[in-house]
Structure 1
Amino acid sequence: MVRTPLTPEERERGERFGLLLRQARGSRSMTEVAAAAGVSAETLRKIETGRAPTPAFFTVAALASALHVSLDALAAGCAPDPEREEAALSA
C-alpha cells in the first residue's frame, strides 16, 4: 500500500502537535512520559520533532492521558492559526 504524501498543512499541524507535547511535558523526561504512555521514547521523540506528524489515535490518547491534557485541548492547539494563514494568502 502506497501512502499519500502529506500536505504542507498536515506537516505544520504535526509540528504544532509536537510543540504542544513538549510544552505539556515540561521538565519531565521524554523517557518518563513515554513509559507512562506506553510508547517508546523514540516514538515520542519523532512526534515531538514533527518527524511523525500523524500519530495513531491511541498513541495521541495515551500521551494526552500521561500528560494530563485533554484531547480537546490538543485538538484546539493543533488548529491552524487563521492570522498566519491569512498573511500567507495575502503575500
Structure 2
Amino acid sequence: MMKGDITLASFNPQGRLVDCSGGHVLLDDETDLGYVEDGTPCGPSMMCLDHKCLPIQSLNMSTCPSGPNGQVCSAHGVSPAAH
C-alpha cells in the first residue's frame, strides 16, 4: 500500500497567475519516491541541495585546478595536484 498527498498552490509572479500541483508518495517501508538526491540538476545552471533548487553560482564551489596549459586537470581527467 502507498501513502501520500497532493499539494496544490497558486502564485502570481509578474502579474500572471500560475497554478502548481505536486505530490509525494511513500511506500510501505517509508521510502519517499519524491526524494531527489543532492547534486541533481533541477533547472538551467541549477542543482538540488538540501531539498532546495539553487543556482550553482550561489553554492560557492571552487573550481578544479588548471595545468600549465590552462585546461582543467590538464585535459586528462586527473588533477595535476594529485601527482
TM-score tier, shorter chain, comes to under 0.3
Query: Which protein, 1 or 2, shows the higher relative CO under an 8 Å CA cutoff with sep ≥ 6?
Result: 1
> Normalised by the size of structure 2, how large is the TM-score?
0.23
Which is greater in Rg? 2
> Normalised by the size of structure 1, how large is the TM-score?
0.22
More strand as a share of residues: 2
More helix as a share of residues: 1
